[in-house]
Amino acid sequence: MIEKIEKLDAILLRHGSVMVAFSGGADSAFLFYRANALLQKNCLAAIADSPSLPRHELASAIAFAKSINGQLEIIQTAELENPDYASNPSNRCFFCKKELFLAMSKLAAEKGFATLAYGENADDISQFRPGRDAAMQAGVIAPLQSAGLTKEEIRQASRDAGLPTSEKAASPCLASRVPHGMTITKKILASVEKGEALVRGMGFSVFRLRHHGNSTVLELGQEELKRWDTAAEHSLKEKILALGYSDFTVATQPYGTTQTQQLATP
């Protein structure tokens, strides 16, 4: 892994100044950390802020940037105003990333940053990632992937560096809780965010609250499903229904299984 980190560093140094697309997740956080350590004032991270981003994720991203003394720019994006995104096709992420990279390109030109980078890793290359197409079209590089760093290697390197994101679970945008083909609105995203905040307030961290029109389904991680009980479900159901849903259920299979993945995207 040391050789891969060295390769990553060489890539970043070769580009001289880099603007990192920062989502707050483990991959982009590690990329931001390395770029900031090497390039300092020649490193800038940018995070897209829109109704698709939970407020707690934005707060965590800001806190991370401060913890490494890194520069962070918050970019307001309007992907929901694009019908191609709001209609929620299977390649929805393409339109989101296209919007972000366009905004980052403009900011980079204003501030004199030569290169845009994002946090795709070596494992991602085998997966369906519409955002990759947007990155390629915009000329955005993927240093982690180019260096051959896998997800687990990034987590281990983050542990070694003492980064708080080393064990952070994947947290895709709120739009991922809505099945493809169902139109995404600010109201839906707000309801999902409020519902997930209730679940998080109960002490759970690995879960998804899936929106299905008037009903919603909670998927819990394997370990968290083991400690779920009827009392918790009864308490939460009342609060979820108060958000405007007519029905609330808890999936019997853990989050991430084939059965639950059929309900909506990860």
Per-residue tens of pLDDT for the chain, all 266 residues? 899 999 999 999 999 999 999 999 999 999 999 999 999 999 999 999 999 999 999 999 999 999 999 999 999 999 999 999 999 999 999 999 999 999 999 999 999 999 999 999 999 988 888 999 999 999 999 999 999 999 999 999 999 999 999 999 888 899 999 999 999 999 999 999 999 999 999 999 999 999 999 999 999 999 999 999 988 889 999 999 999 999 999 999 998 764 444 343 34
pLDDT at 115: 98
Please tell me the distance from the alpha carbon of residue 243 to that of residue 8, in angstroms, as a whole number.
Answer: 46
Please tell me the distance from the alpha carbon of residue 255 to that of residue 217, in angstroms, as a whole number.
Answer: 11
Architecture of domain 174-261: 2-Layer Sandwich (3.30)
pLDDT at 22: 97
Domain topology for 2-161: Rossmann fold (3.40.50)
As given in the structure block, the two tokens for residue 178 are: 């809505």
Which residue, 12, 18, 16, is CA-closest to 107? 18
Sorted by where each begins, the domain ranges of the chain are 2-161, 174-261
Phi, psi of 116 (to 5 degrees): -105, 140
pLDDT at 264: 38
Cβ burial 160-175 (10 Å sphere, 16+ → b, else e): eeebebbebeebebbb
As given in the structure block, the two tokens for residue 45 are: 């991270």
Q: What is the pTM of this model?
A: 0.92
pLDDT at 125: 86
Q: How far is CA 190 from CA 51, 193, 243, in A?
A: 7, 5, 10
As given in the structure block, the two tokens for residue 13 are: 């140094």
pLDDT at 182: 97
Give me the DSSP letters along 92-107.
Answer: HHHHHHHHHHHHHHHH
